[in-house]
Structure 1
């Protein structure tokens, strides 16, 4: 008899998030018998900056000016860090790379550079720029329903001066909290929303890449790929998700996306992870990897 090596899911978070975001999903994957690793990109997780000005009572003036550890971190830094993790994971068997939101940019750059490390790449309402740079999609019709201005009051400090993006997720301003909930987690309870908000970190890096960081047919295009659409996502509308799918398919028509759909806002799938874990588990059956001998059945001395 033979057996297939167990794949490892490598999970890449979005902006202002960290590996903690994936804890419920990892628990559900584990209970289904799947192995997973959640990544903290540089300047995230325990590498993030939380100043005393961010604590209550908040010092808003200090929050707007204090330095942050993520200053100077680039998309290339993120990709290099992810590639190091993929190299280690690949030693144990197949790798399914799963990215969410802004994490898709890092996953795409890593896939452009090292397609040999990835057996399937999965975008969950995640950025995979093809025709435009990521920031330029915001001027496109598919993003017309995104109210960026409503989120501006949550920002702290001048990004150009700080060298990073800073958001005050611990604000008590009802209008700001309402705008954040509407954008990212409208289908949750207020308690779920505030709990998730408190897992976010205030700082994010500025680098969203250039045309050189878009999906490349010769490398990225060789990897089997899945896009998980989130139907209630207000921050990355379904129209934009479908455009990214279409552009990816046009870039690699012989290797189109396997498309799945979840009824979720941008973040709800991470709070109620069972449907997402089921979808991800199904992808393990699509892996094209060779069988390996089951050495437990080889007689001693053979």
Structure 2
């Protein structure tokens, strides 16, 4: 039976990010669902202060709908979608970037709903929490200070992360492009930036949300490395793969590599779509049946 791809976006993103990929998958004969996690997509907050001309003070203080949204909320929402998708046959859960945190927690809770778990340069925490990985040597090349130059407001006061993706500051824009789409044109970069939403929740999970061998470890899993990713560096991707394999040596990652930056696979999705289509034909490892 044909599987359904369930696509989970990263931070500040939404289901809109996956439209070109879904078109490619559809042309290859595959059905897919792009998820909007709580507070994303049409549930997101775009204040008048975010429009042009911008009101920096208003942007820094306006409330956002994503305040109070937790990882548990994301997981519950995703599980509800997985339950519905599973009624129609096998499910391949594909997570990008921060979406990997939600996918990992959902796999911990309901492995029965997922026939294959695919991370695309995504967080799959095993030994540490996500926040702790940020202090590790593999993340030393990430220019966090430059990225924070576009931050709008105090996260502690707002109860959320807010980034002004519509900034005209050339230094902030250069930092964002270097982090996410250095191999894209300026036009592609600005177009993608305008699909982002300004707000993201603060809950990146904790120790209990790391991958669990007894549940997450039962699911066939693939890691798609993005070779030129600077926001989730290749060294960190490889560490996550290594730790996952050490946790479940009888069920190691099926590993593939795509050229490109953190967002290039979504801007030019044909290679990724072909790879995902190939994964749809893989049988489950015999040790797990």
Q: If the length of structure 2 is used for normalisation, what is the TM-score?
A: 0.98
**Residues 1:145 and 1:270: Cα distance change in structure 2 (over 3 Å):** same
Radius of gyration: which is bigger? 1
Q: How does 1:24-103 map to 2 (within 5 A)?
A: 24-103=20-99
Q: What corresponds to 1:157 in structure 2?
A: 153
Q: What corresponds to 2:275 in structure 1?
A: 279
Conserved? CA contact 1:119–1:287, under 8 Å = no
Conserved? CA contact 2:5–2:92, under 8 Å = yes
**Unpaired runs of 5+ in structure 2?**
none
Q: What corresponds to 1:21 in structure 2?
A: 17
Instruction: Select the residue among 236, 239, 242 that pairs with 2:238.
Output: 242
* 1:116 maps to 2:108: no
3-state SS, counterpart of residue 61 of structure 2: coil
Q: What corresponds to 1:212 in structure 2?
A: 208
Q: What corresponds to 1:184 in structure 2?
A: 180
- Structure 1 residue 83: Cα displacement: 0.1
Conserved? CA contact 1:101–1:127, under 8 Å = yes
- Structure 1 residue 285: Cα displacement: 1.1
Deviations 1:198-225 (A, max 9, x none): 0000000000001000000000000000
- Structure 1 residue 120: Cα displacement: 0.1
- 2:66 and 2:281 map into 1 onto residues whose CA distance is 38
3-state SS, counterpart of residue 149 of structure 1: helix
Q: What corresponds to 1:296 in structure 2?
A: none
**Unpaired runs of 5+ in structure 1?**
290-302
* 1:9 maps to 2:5: yes
- Structure 1 residue 8: Cα displacement: 0.1
Deviations 1:133-184 (A, max 9, x none): 0011111110110010011110000000000000000001100000000001
- Structure 1 residue 288: Cα displacement: 3.6
* 1:270 maps to 2:270: no
3-state SS, counterpart of residue 49 of structure 1: coil
Q: What corresponds to 2:218 in structure 1?
A: 222
Q: What corresponds to 2:122 in structure 1?
A: 126
- 1:30 and 1:151 map into 2 onto residues whose CA distance is 35
- 1:92 and 1:138 map into 2 onto residues whose CA distance is 39
- 1:221 and 1:136 map into 2 onto residues whose CA distance is 22
3-state SS, counterpart of residue 285 of structure 1: coil
- 2:170 and 2:189 map into 1 onto residues whose CA distance is 13
* 1:258 maps to 2:254: yes
Deviations 1:95-154 (A, max 9, x none): 000000000000000000000000000000000100000011111110110010011110
Q: What corresponds to 1:294 in structure 2?
A: none
Q: If the length of structure 1 is used for normalisation, what is the TM-score?
A: 0.94
Conserved? CA contact 1:120–1:287, under 8 Å = no
Give the number of equivalent residue pairs: 285
Instruction: Select the residue among 106, 125, 131 that pairs with 1:135.
Output: 131
- Structure 1 residue 287: Cα displacement: 3.4
Kindly report the root-mean-square deviation, in angstroms, between the aligned alpha carbons of the 2 structures. 0.8
